[in-house]
């Protein structure tokens, strides 16, 4: 008789069902449809867009199901994963322990308490991260929330539907805190952000972060930096927030001070935990056990510029890592090389984006750098929908390579950040970027795109054509009462609309005639709205024998300080 052989199906168990986990499962089934894939999720909801929660709370996203639906509107629930993806899902289920020697996972159904053992050939950890809960007195009071899942969002929405919250406090000025500020403002609340660091959005340089703070203040959001929350007070529910700078009333508090990776399961299983506190993985997303992969907010990664290990929990990164893990599980060699710590968020009318190294980070890493502040419209200036964006570039002097970009404003910030990501990843110099064949038409960009203009300023600086000084340095000179001429070369009409104190006005068109009245032994700092005319003024003065002339980077658009007069 002929002997029949039964081919054993490969068993893959995935722990975690929000971002990386569902991506791993879906990709495996696409590559190897006969694989036995089981997904374990502690909560109810699967494959939802956690980054969309602030917009669900504000009402911009109308229904909860939109956060967990496919582009055609199908909800990604347990039935969807079973019928469409052929992935078996246990939700409301907790993974208790991993037996690496026997390749087994012990799970427990939360509703019944019933335990079960699952065998695996390959295990994937996509356990994500948990919100940091600082041990502040009064934390147990009601109406103090974090925002880390659909359940949290529903609790916050329920509070607002039942009560008229007048005062909202957000503890933490990071991405979630800033996005939630806008959400609550849209709901009609008075919002206060409390941040213990000297600035909000710590990944930005101070001169850019302060422009974001200025925009928040203009929208009515109070920003308290260098301030630490010491207690919450109230009778059963929060009524007051106490800080080291004083106390104020609050009806609801959102704690958004960051997250830490969920690694308890991995640690108890004896897997290597990295220096960031997240799971250590190689470029194929394998842990220290070759049969166990990990992806998403529970793992550490590598900075593409410095080569150093870092922790950067983002939904976009989790999905990419999930795909890489699945490819390798299926024998399709793939690599996740690392990140540039790219991030972007919406702050009322502003987009705020960053990639690569900030000035502060680059100096800390020992780079010899030059920086550029460059504001300009995101489309042809004459096109009706043109809006301003303000950019900061960080460039290494010797190699002339772009190291980082920060960009904010009401124009298309994301486009310029994504160009920068591509350029930095490719190791391009500013000279190469300056001649990129970017698309141009007045409705979409200036003839010289914002990033091209910015790198050309950097080239002028490195080539000795353009000598600049930052707004922060100018402010410090004013505060020291340094003897210099702060020369505004805008038109009289512009000057009367908005001006900086202690300046001298000579419009650019009159400078050639009137410059002879200026003392040649004094330092002169020129500027205009964006410092393009300031640059031309400096060239005129230097051609007339003025040797100590600088241009204030960024002009009045990137001057964030209180010395402005209207």
Q: What mean pLDDT value characterizes the chain?
A: 94
Q: Is the pLDDT of residue 258 over 90?
A: yes
What does the pLDDT read at residue 407? 97
pLDDT in tens, 189-235: 999 999 999 999 999 999 999 999 999 999 999 999 999 999 999 99
CA distance 53 to 50: 6
Mean pLDDT, to the nearest integer, of 551-563?
88
The phi, psi pair for 100, rounded to 5°, reads -65, -35
Percent of the chain topping pLDDT 70: 98
Q: What is the pLDDT of residue 7?
A: 58
Q: Look at residue 4 in the predicted model and tell me its pLDDT.
A: 52
- List the beta bridge partners of residue 35: none
Per-residue pLDDT tens for 65-103?
Answer: 888 888 888 888 888 888 888 899 999 999 999 999 999
510-530 tens-digit pLDDT: 999 999 999 999 999 999 999
Q: How far is the C-alpha of 18 from the C-alpha of 450, rounded, in Å?
A: 37
Give the tens place of pLDDT for each residue, 21-67.
999 999 999 999 999 999 999 988 888 888 899 998 998 988 888 88
| Per-residue pLDDT, 2 | 52
Describe the crossing of helices 206-218 and 175-186 by its angle, rounded to 10 degrees: 10
Between 418 and 71, the more confident residue is: 418
Q: Which of 64-73, 428-437, 529-538 has the lowest mean pLDDT?
A: 64-73
Per-residue confidence band for 459, with pLDDT thresholds at 50, 70 and 90: very high
The pLDDT of residue 1 is: 47
Span 273-319, pLDDT tens digits: 999 999 999 999 999 999 999 999 999 999 999 999 999 999 999 99
Run of H or E residues at 25? helix 20-31
- Give yes or no: 51 in active site: yes
Spatial contact of 92 and 110, defined as CB atoms under 8 Å apart = yes
CA angle 550, 552, 554 (to 5 degrees): 145
Asked if residue 411 has pLDDT above 80, the reply is yes
pLDDT at site 563? 59
DSSP state of 284: T
pLDDT tens track for 392-405? 999 999 999 999 99
CB-based contacts of 82: which residues, under 8 Å, 6+ apart?
88, 89
Closest CA to 557 of 393, 374, 363, 336: 374
In terms of phi and psi (left: phi > 0; alpha: psi -120 to 50; beta: otherwise), the region of 515 is alpha
SS3 221: coil
Calculate mean pLDDT across residues 525-538. 95
Catalytic residue among 51, 310, 330, 528: 51
If one compares 187 and 46, the residue with the highest pLDDT of the two is 187
- What percent of the chain clears pLDDT 90, i.e. is strictly above it? 85
The SS3 of residue 347 is strand
CATH 1.10.1040.10 fits 349-462, yes or no: no
Helix axes of 20-31 and 315-329: crossing angle, nearest 10 degrees: 30
pLDDT band at 333 (very low <50, low <70, confident <90, very high): very high
Which CATH number, 3.40.920.10, 3.40.50.620, 3.20.20.70, 3.50.50.60, labels domain 144-257?
3.50.50.60
Residue 5 is predicted with a pLDDT of 52
Q: pTM here?
A: 0.92
Question: Hey, where are the domains in the chain?
Answer: 11-49+64-130+260-329, 144-257, 349-462, 468-565
Q: Are 42 and 89 in contact (CB under 8 A)?
A: no
144-257 and 468-565 agree in CATH topology? no
pLDDT of residue 565: 56
Comparing C-alpha atoms, which of 347, 146, 160 is closest to residue 256? 146
Residue 6 region by backbone torsions, left for phi larger than 0, else alpha for psi between -120 and 50, else beta: beta
The DSSP output letter for 406 is: E
Q: Please tell me the total number of residues recorded for the chain in this structure.
A: 566
* 151 vs 270, higher pLDDT: 270
The correct answer on CATH 3.40.50.620 for the domain covering 11-49+64-130+260-329 is no
At the fourth CATH level, the homologous superfamily of domain 468-565 is: Rhodanese-like domain (3.40.250.10)
Q: Do residues 391 and 416 lie in contact, with contact meaning Cβ atoms separated by under 8 Å?
A: yes
């Amino acid at each position: 008789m002929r002997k029949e052989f039964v081919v054993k199906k490969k068993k893959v168990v995935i722990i975690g069902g929000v971002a990386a986990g569902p991506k791993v499962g879906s990709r495996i089934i696409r590559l190897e449809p006969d694989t036995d894939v089981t997904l374990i999720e502690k909560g109810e909801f699967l494959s939802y867009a956690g980054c969309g929660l602030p917009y669900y709370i504000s009402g911009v996203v109308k229904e909860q199901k939109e956060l967990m639906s496919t582009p055609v509107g199908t909800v990604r629930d347990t039935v969807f994963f079973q019928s469409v993806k052929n992935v078996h899902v246990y939700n409301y289920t907790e993974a208790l322990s991993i037996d690496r020697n026997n390749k087994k996972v012990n799970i427990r159904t939360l509703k019944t308490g019933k335990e079960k053992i699952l065998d695996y050939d390959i295990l994937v950890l996509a356990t994500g991260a948990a919100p940091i809960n600082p041990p502040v007195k009064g934390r147990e009071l009601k109406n103090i929330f974090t925002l880390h899942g659909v359940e949290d969002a529903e609790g916050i929405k329920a509070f607002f539907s039942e009560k008229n919250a007048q005062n909202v406090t957000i503890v933490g000025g990071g991405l979630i805190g800033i996005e939630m500020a806008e959400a609550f403002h849209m709901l009609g609340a008075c919002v206060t952000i409390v941040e213990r660091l000297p600035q909000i959005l710590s990944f930005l340089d101070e001169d850019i972060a302060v422009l974001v703070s200025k925009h928040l203040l203009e929208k009515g959001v109070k920003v308290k930096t260098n301030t630490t929350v010491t207690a919450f007070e109230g009778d059963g529910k929060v009524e007051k927030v106490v800080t080291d700078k004083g106390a104020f009333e609050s009806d609801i508090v959102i704690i958004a001070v960051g997250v830490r990776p969920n690694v308890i399961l991995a640690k108890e299983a004896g897997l290597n935990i990295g220096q960031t506190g997240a799971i250590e993985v190689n470029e194929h997303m394998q842990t220290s056990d070759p049969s166990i992969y990990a992806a998403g907010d529970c793992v550490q990664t590598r900075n593409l510029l410095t080569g150093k290990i870092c922790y950067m929990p983002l939904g976009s990164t989790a999905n990419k890592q999930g795909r890489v893990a699945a490819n390798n599980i299926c024998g399709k060699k793939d690599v996740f090389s690392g990140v540039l710590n790219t991030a972007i968020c919406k702050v009322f009318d502003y987009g705020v984006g960053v990639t690569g190294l900030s000035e502060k980070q680059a100096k800390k890493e020992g780079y010899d750098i030059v920086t550029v502040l460059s504001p300009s419209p995101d489309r042809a200036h004459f096109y009706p929908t043109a809006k301003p964006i303000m950019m900061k570039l960080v460039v290494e002097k010797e190699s002339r390579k772009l190291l980082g970009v920060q960009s904010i404003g009401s124009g298309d910030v994301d486009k310029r950040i994504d160009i920068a990501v591509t350029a930095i990843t490719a190791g391009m110099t500013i000279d190469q970027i300056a001649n990129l064949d970017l698309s141009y038409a007045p409705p979409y960009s200036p003839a010289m795109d914002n990033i091209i203009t910015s790198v050309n300023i950097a080239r002028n600086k490195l080539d000795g054509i353009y000598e600049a000084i930052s707004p922060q340095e100018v402010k410090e000179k004013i505060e020291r009462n340094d003897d210099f001429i702060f020369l505004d070369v805008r038109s009289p009409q512009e000057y009367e609309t908005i001006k900086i104190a202690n300046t001298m006005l000579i419009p650019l068109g009159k400078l050639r005639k009137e410059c002879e009245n200026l003392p040649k032994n004094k330092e002169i700092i020129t500027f205009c709205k964006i410092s393009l005319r300031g640059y031309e003024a400096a060239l005129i003065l230097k051609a007339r024998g003025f040797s100590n002339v600088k241009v204030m980077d960024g002009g009045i658009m990137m001057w964030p300080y209180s010395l402005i007069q209207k």
